[in-house]
Chains A and B, each alone.
Chain A
Amino acid sequence: MATNKLLEKLRVLLGAERRAQIAKYESIKQVLKKLKKKENALKGKLKNETGVKACKQLKKEMSVISAQRKKGMKILKELKELKELKKENNP
Chain B
Amino acid sequence: MIRNILLPTIFLLLTYGFWLSPDFKEISAGVAIFLFGMLALEEGFKAFTGGTLERLLRRTTNQLWKSISFGVVTTTLMQSSSLVSVITISFLSAELITLAAGIGIIFGANLGTTTGAWLVAGFGLKVKLSAYAMPMLVFGVTLIFQKSRSLKGVGYILAGMGFLFLGIHYMKEGFEAFKQTLDLAEYAIPGYAGLFIFALIGIMATVIMQSSHATLVLVLTALAAQQITYDNALALAIGSNVGTTITAILGAMSSNVQGKRLAGAHLIFNMTTGIIAIVIIQQLILLVDLLSNGLGIAADNYTLKLAIFHTLFNLLGIIIMVPFITRLVSFLERIIATPAAEIATPRYLYAASAEIPDAAIEAVRKETARLYNQAVDIITHGLSLQREILLSEQPLEEVVTESDTIKTQEIDHLYNKYIKAIYGAIIEFISHAQNSVDKEQVEEFSTLRQAGHNIVEAIKGIKHLQKNLSIYMASDNPHIRHEYNNIRIQIAHVLRELEILQNGADEAGTILSLDQLKMEISERDVISTGVLDSLIRKNHISAQMATSLMNDSAYCQNICRNLIHLGETLFAASDPDEKEAERSVALNEAEIKEVLNNYSEEKN
Contacts and interface: CB of A to CB of B under 8 A. Distances in A.
Contacts of B594: 67
B508 A71 contact: no
B299 to A, nearest CB: 100
A77 to B, nearest CB: 13
B512 interface: yes
B582 interface: yes
B514 to A, nearest CB: 10
Interface stretch (B2-10, B28-36, B584-592): B584-592
Interface in B572-586: 575, 577-578, 580-582, 584-586
Nearest to B575: A27
B11 interface: no
B577 A64 contact: no
Nearest to A31: B581
Helix, strand, loop or mixed for chain A's interface?
Answer: helix
Nearest to B583: A31
Contacts of A26: 577
B581 A30 contact: yes
Contacts of A27: 575, 577-578, 580-581
B577 A60 contact: no
Nearest to A60: B599
Interface string A13-57: 000000000011011101110110110010000000000000000
Given A26-B577, A27-B578, A68-B515, A63 B585 contact: no
Given A23-B577, A26-B577, A68 B585 contact: yes
B585 A71 contact: yes
B577 A24 contact: yes
Given A63-B599, A67-B595, A71-B585, A34 B577 contact: no
A63 B86 CA distance: 69
A30 B508 CA distance: 11
B519 interface: yes
A1 B451 CA distance: 51
A37 B599 CA distance: 22
B516 A75 contact: no
Nearest to B516: A64
A64 B587 contact: yes
B581 A71 contact: no
Contact of A28 (B585, B598, B599, B602): B585
A61 B582 CA distance: 17
A34 B599 contact: no
Interface in B236-271: none
18 contacts: A27-B581, A28-B585, A30-B581, A31-B581, A31-B582, A34-B508, A35-B585, A37-B508, A60-B516, A61-B516, A64-B516, A64-B595, A65-B512, A67-B594, A68-B587, A71-B585, A71-B587, A75-B585
